[in-house]
């Protein structure tokens, strides 16, 4: 049975706009951000499902616990946002950090996203793998050995993940914002070669240049944070987020870059042929002086000039030593037959 390639987006790579926690617990603001993301032209709008009590120890990390409690949305609100995406022809995605929530959100998910912090959370990963939907795995904080062990664990739970059409591994650096010298897009090639899985990029950098570079490096999945504006925002994720206009510009650049890529075949293009440049830009062999009938052609008699009319410059050696059959004027087109 032919397996669907789950990593193809409308514009080439699968583009995921991560609203995440940028709503800061405000449902009206969440609806606004999701609506903007839908209109921006991405393939997937992503949020995060969690409760503070199921994610962070209130004793060991009280400040983080209070942060997540503040940013919670409830079941009905998440379902509303999921249906909002799907009714507009987009896929809804969520990093589900509470498996109890997976029971009611699962029917809205076409993919499972495992965030960098959960790359080693095998009990959580096992539940996703057993359910068998395509998995997107971010790799911030990890080394290649840990990544390969987690992939092996996933594949042990469910053999469908041995096919790269079902498992995408995202290069990611879990700092906000990520310094330019720690984005490390060359890891895309390392991950691809070491895992034989689909590769992508999850962005936490400033601006969108890294995303453009990731596409050029072959990222099939690209995830980036999304907001309406970065002005006057205190929550860190807004700072690393793209706005709707910036997302549209990114998509337009990806579509243009996709054209730049072309195919794997090196040959004269259609317009190179139509332009006549194959002849006009290339050189032929001409005589640099008038030569009379009977003259024995020497290398010193030749000059290499545009256009490529007559004897191609690659055939210069076929002229040397020949006897001229008729008088030929300097810089006239010559052929092997009349030379």
The sign of the dihedral angle between the CA atoms of 315, 321, 324, 327 is positive
pLDDT tens for the chain, residues 1 to 339: 677 899 999 999 999 999 999 999 999 999 999 999 999 999 999 999 976 566 666 765 767 766 666 788 999 999 999 999 999 999 999 999 889 999 999 999 999 999 999 999 999 999 999 999 999 999 999 999 999 999 999 999 999 999 999 999 999 999 999 999 999 999 999 999 999 999 999 999 999 999 999 999 999 999 999 999 999 899 999 999 999 999 999 999 999 999 999 988 999 999 999 999 999 999 999 999 999 999 999 999 999 999 999 999 999 999 999 999 999 999 999 999 877
Q: What domains lie within the chain, and their CATH numbers?
A: 9-261 (3.20.20.70), 265-339 (3.90.1210.10)
Nearest C-alpha neighbor of 110 from the set 22, 40, 8: 8
Tokens linked to 128: 């996703």
Among residues 124, 195, 201, 203, which one has the least CA distance to residue 166? 195
Contact of 191 with 217, CB cutoff 8 Å: no
pTM of the predicted model as reported, rounded to 2 decimal places:
0.89
């Amino acid at each position: 049975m032919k397996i669907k390639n789950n990593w193809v987006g409308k514009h080439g790579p699968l583009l995921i706009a991560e609203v995440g926690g940028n709503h800061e617990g405000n449902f009206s603001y969440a609806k606004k951000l999701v609506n903007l993301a839908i209109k921006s032209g991405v393939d997937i709008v992503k949020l995060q499902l969690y409760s503070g009590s199921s994610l962070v120890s209130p004793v060991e990390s009280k400040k983080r616990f209070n942060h997540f409690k503040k940013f919670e949305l409830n079941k009905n609100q998440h379902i509303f946002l999921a249906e909002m995406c799907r009714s507009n022809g987009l896929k809804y995605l969520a990093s589900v950090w509470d498996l109890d929530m997976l029971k009611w959100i699962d029917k809205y998910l076409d993919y499972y996203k495992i965030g960098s912090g959960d790359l080693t959370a095998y009990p959580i990963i096992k539940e996703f793998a057993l359910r068998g939907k395509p998995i997107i795995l971010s790799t911030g904080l990890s080394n290649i050995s840990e990544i390969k062990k987690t992939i092996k664990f996933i594949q042990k739970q469910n053999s469908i993940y041995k096919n790269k059409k079902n498992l995408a591994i995202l290069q990611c650096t879990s700092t906000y914002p990520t310094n330019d010298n720690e984005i490390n897009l060359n890891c895309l090639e390392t991950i691809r070669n070491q895992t034989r899985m689909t590769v992508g990029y999850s962005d936490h950098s400033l601006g969108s240049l890294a995303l453009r570079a990731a596409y050029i490096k072959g990222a099939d999945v690209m995830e980036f944070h999304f907001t309406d504006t970065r002005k006057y925002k205190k929550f860190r994720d807004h700072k690393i987020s793209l706005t709707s206009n910036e997302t549209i510009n990114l998509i337009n650049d990806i579509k243009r870059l996709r054209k730049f890529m072309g195919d794997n075949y090196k040959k004269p293009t259609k317009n190179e042929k139509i332009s006549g440049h194959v002849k006009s830009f290339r050189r032929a062999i001409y005589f640099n002086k008038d030569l009379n009938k009977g003259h024995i052609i020497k290398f010193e008699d030749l000059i290499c000039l545009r256009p490529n009319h007559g004897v191609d410059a690659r055939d210069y050696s076929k002229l040397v030593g020949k006897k001229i059959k008729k008088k030929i004027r300097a810089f006239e087109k010559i052929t092997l037959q009349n030379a």
